[in-house]
């Protein structure tokens, strides 16, 4: 393999992983960052005003916990610690009790018995294969995914707009709200195709290893 010099612009998680991979292969790597500290959005700051500390990016990291890159570089061995909460996700409702995503499929379904079967059908295959489905979702877009049969099953769930799938699958406000809340991580209107993919993926990770 040929090596050389590489300049990485940005010291967020993606830039740092790229730099580490190249350095491991013998490249001479420099990382450039305009902020005084590395970390990108994986950091906290006083953006809301003096005396208030807020996360600059996500406050939960289900993708990072299952990251093959994090495991490869043994970040836990270098001091990284994960903080797990009692509930990965809570969704408040105007006219009913809040609904919770539990780090357990059965406990989540107990909150909406009439939608339990639909919730199980949608999530259980992904919950049982959380690492494999994350490997598929984070693999290169071009080429065959590492687990193609599971990817096909995920694709059938991911294709519809979350608004359409939620209305077709669930009768209770609680189940529909949990699904919509996870689907909203697509940062797209829930009427867009493929937004269901975010709903089932984030929900499955929350009900397996959680959102640390």
The SS3 call for residue 6 is strand
What is the per-residue DSSP string for 80-120? ------S-SEEE--SSS--EEE-SSHHHHHTT-GGGHHHHH
Task: Render each residue's pLDDT in the chain as its tens digit; 212 residues.
Answer: 678 999 999 999 899 999 999 999 999 999 999 988 898 888 888 888 888 988 888 778 898 899 988 899 998 899 989 999 889 999 899 988 899 999 999 999 999 999 999 999 999 999 999 999 889 888 887 888 888 888 888 887 888 999 999 999 999 999 999 999 999 999 999 999 999 999 999 999 999 999 99
Q: Are 27 and 5 in contact (CB under 8 A)?
A: yes
Give the model's pLDDT for residue 148. 85
203 three-class SS: helix
CA atoms within 13 A on the CB side of 188: 15
Q: Which of 42, 15, 48 is nearest to 30 (CA)?
A: 15
What's the burial of 63, exposed, middle or buried (CB within 10 Å: 0-12/13-18/19+)?
middle
| Whole-structure pTM value | 0.84
Here the tokens at position 60 are 């939960």
């Amino acid at each position: 393999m040929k090596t050389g010099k590489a300049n990485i612009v940005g010291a967020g998680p993606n830039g740092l992983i790229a730099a580490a991979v190249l350095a491991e292969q013998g490249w001479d790597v420099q990382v450039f960052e305009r902020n005084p500290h590395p970390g990108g959005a994986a950091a906290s700051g006083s953006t809301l005003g003096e005396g208030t500390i807020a996360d600059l990016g996500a406050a939960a990291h289900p993708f990072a916990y299952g990251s093959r890159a994090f495991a490869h570089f043994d970040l836990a061995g270098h001091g990284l610690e994960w903080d797990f909460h009692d509930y990965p996700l809570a969704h408040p409702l105007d006219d009913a009790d809040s609904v919770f995503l539990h780090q357990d499929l059965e406990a989540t379904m107990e909150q909406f018995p009439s939608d339990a079967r639909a919730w199980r059908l949608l999530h259980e295959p992904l919950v049982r294969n959380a690492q494999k489905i994350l490997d598929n979702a984070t693999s290169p877009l071009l080429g065959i995914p590492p687990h193609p049969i599971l990817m096909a099953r995920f694709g059938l769930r991911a294709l519809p707009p979350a608004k359409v799938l939620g209305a077709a699958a669930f009768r209770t406000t609680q189940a529909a709200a949990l699904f919509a809340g996870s689907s909203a991580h697509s940062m797209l209107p829930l009427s867009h195709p493929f937004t269901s993919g975010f709903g089932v993926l984030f929900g499955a990770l929350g009900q397996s290893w959680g959102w640390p």
